[in-house]
Amino acid sequence: MSTKKKSKIEVAFIYLFLLIMFIIIGYPLFWALMMSVNPGSNMLVTELFPSNPTWEHYAWLFTSPNSDYLLWYKNSMYIAVVNSVGSVIITSLIAYAFSRYQFIGRKYGLYMFLLLQMFPALMGMVALYILLNTIGLTDSLYGLMIIYLGGQIPFNAWLVKGYLDTIPKELDEAAKIDGAGHLKIFWTIILPLAKPILAVVALFNFMAPFMDFLLPRIVLTSPSNFTLALGLYNFINDQFSTNFTRFAAGSILIAVPIALVFLLLQRYLISGLTSGATKG
């Protein structure tokens, strides 16, 4: 078999693999979309494209006095924005300190971050609930934000530190010669060069509150404080029981803010993921 023919076969297998993965990933999304425009409340889509598609389920989410969907959306957006911005600020400062300075406990601090990443989050749920209950932040969006902000530090600090290590320290030294202090170096040199990896941190931490169900389920009890994931679960489990079409419509709309943030940050994401993940 010639080299050219082998190359064509390899390319064909690559495209076949990509097609299979696209079907595996895309079919559930397509099914949820078709269910959201299906009349009635049945979760079964008997036709590939509903013969009488309707947008009434989307309209109901925003116009019905019985729907708390907008409130859940607001809660999730609030937590997501605070978590994203706060994570970028906290992570960048911690990673900068570990990347640029030598201090007592630096080595053991990095080992501690690495160790904390090895334990699944489920192991700490009971302890987190007890902690929030002790300080009076159960059933509070602020308590949820504190856990999100603190929980992201170990992984993101390692990720960002690996990226900052690739930025030449000669830039810092040149700035110091020109009279720049630590804060000015961080603000005017490090942060602009670290935009790709910080975009990754911002996106991941923006997505987390929309996707997480278990932690809000443990911490939040009042419907007025529910996030989208928790609200939609109760949407079909308690209030409407079998109204899966409205549930599907609400689930589809979760993707809108995430997609917008992804589009805004996409030019930084690839370089941020590859540099931060491969260099340390």
Give helix 106-117 / helix 69-100 axis angle, nearest 10°. Answer: 140
pLDDT at 275: 52
CB 94 within 8 A of CB 157: yes
Torsion of CA 165, 170, 172, 177, to 10 degrees: 170
Where does residue 193 rank: exposed (0-12), middle (13-18), buried (19+ CB within 10 A)? middle
Least confident of 15-19, 200-204, 215-219, 242-246: 242-246
Identify whether residues 166 and 105 lie together within a single domain. Answer: yes
Label residue 280 by pLDDT band (50, 70, 90): very low
Residues 264 and 204 in one domain: yes
Contacts of 199 (CB under 8 A, 6+ apart): 265, 268, 269, 272
Q: What is the DSSP string of 180-236?
A: --HHHHIIIIIHHHTHHHHHHHHHHHHHHHHH--HHHHHH--SGGG--HHHHHHHII
Residues 143, 60: Cα–Cα separation, whole Å: 31
Q: Do 81 and 206 fall into the same domain? A: yes
Residue 274: pLDDT band by 50, 70, 90 thresholds? low
**Cα–Cα distance between 5 and 270 in angstroms, integer?**
32
Tens of pLDDT along 32-48?
A: 888 888 887 666 666 66
Q: Are residues 88 and 51 in the same domain?
A: no
Kindly state whether residues 211 and 164 are assigned to the same domain.
yes
Which of 15, 41, 58 terminates a domain? The answer is 58
pLDDT attached to residue 279: 45
Q: Is the pLDDT of residue 178 over 90?
A: no
- Are residues 91 and 127 located together in one domain of the fold? yes
Specify the higher pLDDT residue, 147 or 244: 147
Residue-level pLDDT at 227: 92
Range of the domain at 169: 66-278
**Most confident range, picked from 72-86, 191-205, 232-246:** 72-86
Whether 102 and 48 map to the same domain: the answer is no
Where among 40, 58, 76 does a domain terminate? Answer: 58
Q: Are residues 104 and 195 in the same domain?
A: yes
CA angle 248, 253, 257 (to 5 degrees): 155
Q: What is the pTM of this model?
A: 0.84
Paired tokens of 257: 């803010």
Measured CA to CA, the distance from residue 187 to residue 202 in angstroms comes to 17
Tally of CB atoms within 10 A around 236: 19
Compute the distance between CA of residue 15 and CA of residue 32 in angstroms, rounded to an integer.
26
Task: Kindly report the average pLDDT of the chain as a whole number.
Answer: 85
**Domain total of the chain:** 2
- Record the tokens describing residue 96, joined without a space: 């900068």
Residues 158 and 51 in one domain: no
Shared domain check, 112 and 231: yes
Looking at the structure, do residues 150 and 191 belong to the same domain, yes or no?
yes
pLDDT tens-digit profile of 207-249? 989 988 989 999 998 888 999 988 888 777 765 456 788 888 8
Tell me the average pLDDT across 163-189. Answer: 87
